[in-house]
């Protein structure tokens, strides 16, 4: 006769065997489109919101960049967000790959400053961890390959990602993404402005800044113009 502990062990083993025999349910719609599931992350155009946190409907709030809140931005297809609010969006949209690109002007530590914020928001388990760095544009996994294991939050930081306090899922932006000029130039020149090695230019993904601003009275005071429809990058 088997003891209770023996039955528990047998049951656990049977459960594991059954789980192993059930194939993983694969995503059939990724970021709203079935055809994106088999397309590489590096071969998809994403729309984003610059400074998504700076929200106001006050026309005299000159520092604002957006006029709608973050859930509304995400509903419109904007893919940059606060860590706390984004968790609700991710829970409600399990087939979405979300990209977060942060600036780090003070050079804060990824390990002691940035990662705890992800941990507190519950986003760390969802973060995509690259097998190696940097990743060439053509070598990124498909959206389906990111969604199926639940690694669907892609995090870039523009500075101080290297060194002893680096974090495996916080990736160096300019080593893999080049940016066009960020200015009030209405022609939106498609040329490389900010980039870092070691990858060749052609192996980078790229971000086209699309800021429609006005230089107020040529005084260097920049006013955002029509932030809802046109302030995309």
pLDDT digits (tens, 9 = 90+) for 177-215: 998 887 656 676 778 888 888 999 999 998 887 666 666
Question: Would you say residue 104 has pLDDT above 50?
Answer: yes
Tell me how crowded residue 10 is: count the other CB atoms within 10 A of its CB: 11
Q: What pTM does this model have? A: 0.69
Question: Would you say residue 22 has pLDDT above 70?
Answer: no
Task: Report pLDDT digits (tens) over 116-160.
Answer: 888 988 889 999 999 999 999 999 999 999 999 999 999 999 999
**Model pLDDT, residue 181:** 80
Task: Report pLDDT digits (tens) over 80-96.
Answer: 556 778 888 888 999 99
**Model pLDDT, residue 45:** 86
């Amino acid at each position: 006769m088997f003891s209770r502990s023996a039955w528990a062990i047998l049951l656990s083993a049977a459960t594991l065997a059954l789980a192993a025999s059930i194939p993983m349910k694969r995503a059939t719609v990724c970021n709203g489109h079935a055809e994106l599931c088999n397309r590489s992350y590096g071969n998809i155009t994403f729309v984003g919101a610059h400074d998504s946190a700076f929200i106001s409907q006050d026309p005299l709030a000159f520092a604002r960049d957006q006029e709608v809140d973050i859930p509304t931005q995400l509903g419109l297809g904007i893919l940059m967000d606060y860590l706390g609010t984004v968790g609700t969006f991710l829970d409600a949209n399990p087939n979405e790959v979300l990209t977060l690109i942060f600036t780090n002007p003070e050079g804060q530590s990824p390990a002691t400053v940035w990662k705890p914020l992800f941990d507190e928001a519950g986003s760390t388990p969802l973060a995509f961890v690259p097998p190696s760095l940097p990743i060439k544009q053509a070598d990124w996994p498909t959206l389906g390959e990111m969604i199926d294991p639940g690694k669907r939050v892609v995090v870039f930081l523009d500075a101080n990602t290297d060194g002893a306090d680096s974090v495996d899922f916080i990736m160096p932006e300019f080593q893999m993404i080049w940016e066009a000029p960020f200015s009030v130039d209405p022609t939106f020149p498609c040329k490389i402005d900010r980039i870092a090695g070691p990858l060749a230019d052609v192996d980078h993904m790229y971000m086209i800044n699309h800021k429609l601003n006005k230089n107020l009275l040529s005084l260097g005071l920049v006013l955002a113009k029509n932030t809802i429809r046109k302030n995309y990058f």
